[in-house]
Amino acid sequence: MAILDVAKLGHPILRQVAEAVSLDEAQSSGFQNFIDDMVETMRKLDGVGLAAPQVSCSKQVVVIASEANPRYPDESDLPLMVLINPRLTERSDERIEGWEACLSVKDLRGKVRRHRKVRVEAFDRHMNPLSFETEGFLSIVLQHEIDHLNGKVFLDRMEDFSTLTHLEEFDRFWMSQATKV
């Protein structure tokens, strides 16, 4: 396995719409190795999610996991999830607000409002279909990662930039307010 380089804001691939993954492609050993590398990279960098365009592959793949994550100490653990060709098929009108950050937007956090609940349809790494509804932190992470597949980053979802904060200042001024989303 390998740790992959993360594309930072400004890399054009982060602004492209990612291509769907075909069944043949998903079954190749190269693709399965790539998924393992994505998981390893996410864990190494303490991410809770990673989308393939962030590692310079414009394909519809996201991985999500959080196990006692130091970047999100107050959030519940998320079991490892690999989603191929994910789509949001339902979104609640009700919104929740949370602090977001991104491995491609270094050293910044900002408040973003997202749908509280979403329904996701996707395939797992073996192309078995998945359909589930989720809410709260996982819902936020899913919306953030699926945005990456559509060329969007969390900054695009901020209503204004008044909460945009460098991590150093976040720790000084905002940490106490950064409770559950």
- Cα 9 to Cα 19: distance, rounded to the nearest angstrom: 20
Q: Among 14, 82, 102, 122, which residue sits at the site for Ni ion (rule: CB under 5 A)? A: 102
Residue 145 is a catalytic residue? yes
CA distances from 119 to 56, 88, 101, 175 (A): 27, 6, 23, 30
Catalytic residue, candidates 145, 159, 168, 169: 145
Rounded least distance, CB 104 to Ni ion, Å: 6
CA distances from 27 to 55, 58, 121, 122 (A): 20, 18, 19, 16
Nearest CB to Ni ion, comparing residues 26 and 102: 102
Rule CB under 5 A: say whether 4 interacts with Ni ion. no
**Looking at 55-63, 95-103, 115-123, 158-166, which segment touches Ni ion (CB under 5 A)?**
95-103
Q: Where are the alpha helices (H) located in the chain, listed in sequence order?
A: 23-26, 29-44, 137-149, 154-157, 167-169
Short-list 6, 16, 21, CA closest to 59: 21
Nearest CB to Ni ion, comparing residues 44 and 126: 44
How many residues of this chain interact with Ni ion, rule: CB under 5 A? 1
Rounded least distance, CB 178 to Ni ion, Å: 17
| Site residues (vs Ni ion, CB under 5 A) | 102
**What residues are labeled active site?**
145
